[in-house]
Structure 1
């Protein structure tokens, strides 16, 4: 059973078990420990996982955090668990905040067995942020978030690779929350921003009220139009018009005229982009890897140069494809993938592609 299936199986158990989980200890045993195991850490091996981990903090002695996950003899992830019915919005992760500053751990997780909130120290070194950079709800689990969770598996956990991703995830999540709030109930500042650009007169109370309704309707219409454009494009797409599924030694050509109209960069495309950067991190400076989204595919380029494609992500249809370049002449083939983690299976091809450009760190 692969990682995604294991996560979905654990999530499916929660409604069945919830009525019988009455305590924090039961939450840990039934839900949290199984997740730690799925991530590849042995909860019965004290060199990997220490329950009730103690790290004295100033005058605070003997306080414990529920789990500490170790790597190379040092704690790297701290987990604080609450009862399954606990409202994490009302819970203060006090032990996590304290232990974060006195251990080498760079990831703190607060959970009630259903919701997992991931924290790090983006705002101030060695001080855990007040806001999480990632939140996963196992009762409303989304595949792109499962792919983010894969980063915390024992076999792939790398804090150096995780730091820039955490930064992007945190601020993307916060901006999306702001946009969601403003779309449903536009604030006065948000309304003024648009009104001033289209209305030349003074912004009286009546004008502001009028533009509050106009702004909300305009945003709703804009979002719906973009969704409809995306759906129309997906329904009308015919890959055979300009691209060969398997080249059999022939170079893939692209004759479609590109336009910014209708282009929507998805979370999966962003995730795929970061996976490629992670793969190539040891070969080139990740800053030289860029993403350029188009209607039919999302291109990943070296030095933002169309003449130096690294790969293409074809994620706009039900069947996802990773297009890789198989020789120095940029002959390519599209490979079907079922989950983003399969991009790692093409690591050698991606490295070879970059090396064929004669580009190294």
Structure 2
């Protein structure tokens, strides 16, 4: 998930909350929660049903949003007004909805507070547990959880791997925290028995500090939201291989300009649309690539929506391959693109994700860019080349 998009959603939502802190449920849905669904890749009415009927507590209720794939609900979102604090009754409500409809994921929110739930069957017993809760300002800190609720990750079952990894990390962290003294003693004893001199005291202190650092690393790994590696290698779609020398060139990789109708390819060719700030355009120019992203496919084309003053889909390129950041031959060291790596860092790119490499001489600025209307890609979105050619604005494209 694009952390810039999450931060943008957070900032815009907080501004709405500050202006109208007593919004009722209907206004909260229209002003805030529709954008939240867009952030996760869900669209009304394409794959999101309003007022979905469920049976619970011996009666029929209507859950506010049912996220639907192949005609079946895969997640519920129960909404309350900004003027309503989330209560235990609300939590029991969404849990019962999930149990009665065999839905594995749920979100309870009033636009300012967000709670995320998971349904599991363990030894024939159905449990629904809260995964986490967060204030809207804290959403950028729980990217992993948000990724589990993205449409693409639910569709390809990757959400299971994401949440299982979180649970494994939490168990490991708890074990280290609860048994730190025990582990430190074992490590110190091992050192003392194998080196000359009495270093037990110093070794114990150092071992505890090492365990503390390990716990911190686990916390960072959870926050960063690095996906499980269980997906396996990306599928090859036999595109023209790119010359390594075209990545990391000191010259601009933008070949020139062309109109959308001049882009060569079938109408059903897959296009991934990435959002970027203006600062991210420099990454395009110097690398003939886009990074760092979480992407489970290898699309035919990549298009860039530039926010800020531009607010338009402005660039397009043909995709050659998708590689890990560690394997990408970039213009600068990975650390230079990290938010904390240097003063001239681009846009806080994460070097633990992937890089989408473009074919040589295929990156163009679009002569007739697609202007912003009401919707913008808050994270990567998929469309087709035909839709990109014909769209009059971002609403028609997305």
TM-score, length basis structure 2: 0.47
Partner residue, 1:105: 103
**Kept in 1: contact 2:326–2:351 (CA 8 A):** no
Q: CA deviation at 1:31?
A: 1.9
- The equivalent position to 2:155 in structure 1, one of 158, 172, 196, is 158
**Kept in 1: contact 2:145–2:163 (CA 8 A):** no
Partner residue, 1:267: 221
Partner residue, 2:379: none
Distance 1:174 1:56, change over 3 A: same
Distance 1:341 1:29, change over 3 A: farther
Partner residue, 1:286: none
- The equivalent position to 2:165 in structure 1, one of 168, 178, 181, is 168
- The equivalent position to 2:76 in structure 1, one of 75, 78, 86, is 78
Partner residue, 1:121: 119
Q: CA deviation at 1:139?
A: 0.6
Partner residue, 1:146: 143
CA distance in structure 1 between the partners assigned to 2:169 and 2:163 by the alignment: 10
Q: Secondary structure at the match of 1:9?
A: helix
**Kept in 2: contact 1:147–1:341 (CA 8 A):** no
Distance 1:56 1:266, change over 3 A: closer
Partner residue, 1:338: 349
Q: Secondary structure at the match of 2:128?
A: coil
Q: Secondary structure at the match of 1:120?
A: strand
**Kept in 2: contact 1:49–1:69 (CA 8 A):** yes
Q: CA deviation at 1:100?
A: 1.6
Partner residue, 1:317: 335
Give CA-to-partner distance per residue, 1:186-223, whole Å, 9 cap, x none.
xxx75874798699xxxxxxxxxxxxxxxxx9898557
Q: Secondary structure at the match of 1:113?
A: coil
Q: CA deviation at 1:8?
A: 1.8
Partner residue, 2:230: 277
**Kept in 2: contact 1:65–1:95 (CA 8 A):** no
Give CA-to-partner distance per residue, 1:251-276, whole Å, 9 cap, x none.
xxxxxxxxxxxx989527984452x5
Give CA-to-partner distance per residue, 1:86-106, whole Å, 9 cap, x none.
655755522322222232422
Which stretches in structure 2 are left out of the alignment for 5+ residues? 189-204, 237-322, 328-332, 339-346, 359-398
Distance 1:74 1:341, change over 3 A: farther
Q: Secondary structure at the match of 1:62?
A: strand
Distance 1:16 1:265, change over 3 A: closer
Q: Does 1:5 align with 2:4?
A: yes
**Kept in 2: contact 1:122–1:167 (CA 8 A):** no
Partner residue, 2:51: 52
Q: Which moved more, 1:134-143 or 1:337-346?
A: 337-346
**Kept in 1: contact 2:148–2:160 (CA 8 A):** no
Q: Which moved more, 1:336-345 or 1:104-113?
A: 336-345
Which stretches in structure 1 are left out of the alignment for 5+ residues? 183-188, 200-216, 231-262, 284-309, 321-335, 348-361
Q: CA deviation at 1:70?
A: 0.8
**Kept in 2: contact 1:69–1:75 (CA 8 A):** yes
Partner residue, 1:246: none
Distance 1:103 1:198, change over 3 A: closer
Give CA-to-partner distance per residue, 1:49-72, whole Å, 9 cap, x none.
222221123x62222222111111
What is the root-mean-square deviation in Å for CA atoms of aligned residues? 4.9
**Kept in 1: contact 2:147–2:159 (CA 8 A):** no
> How many correspondences in the alignment?
244
CA distance in structure 2 between the partners assigned to 1:197 and 1:54 by the alignment: 57
Partner residue, 1:33: 34
CA distance in structure 2 between the partners assigned to 1:192 and 1:264 by the alignment: 18
**Kept in 2: contact 1:279–1:344 (CA 8 A):** no
Give the structure with the higher percent strand.
Answer: 2
**Kept in 2: contact 1:101–1:126 (CA 8 A):** no
CA distance in structure 2 between the partners assigned to 1:280 and 1:270 by the alignment: 21
Q: Secondary structure at the match of 2:15?
A: helix
Distance 1:138 1:24, change over 3 A: same
**Kept in 1: contact 2:86–2:109 (CA 8 A):** yes
CA distance in structure 2 between the partners assigned to 1:51 and 1:126 by the alignment: 29
**Kept in 2: contact 1:82–1:112 (CA 8 A):** yes
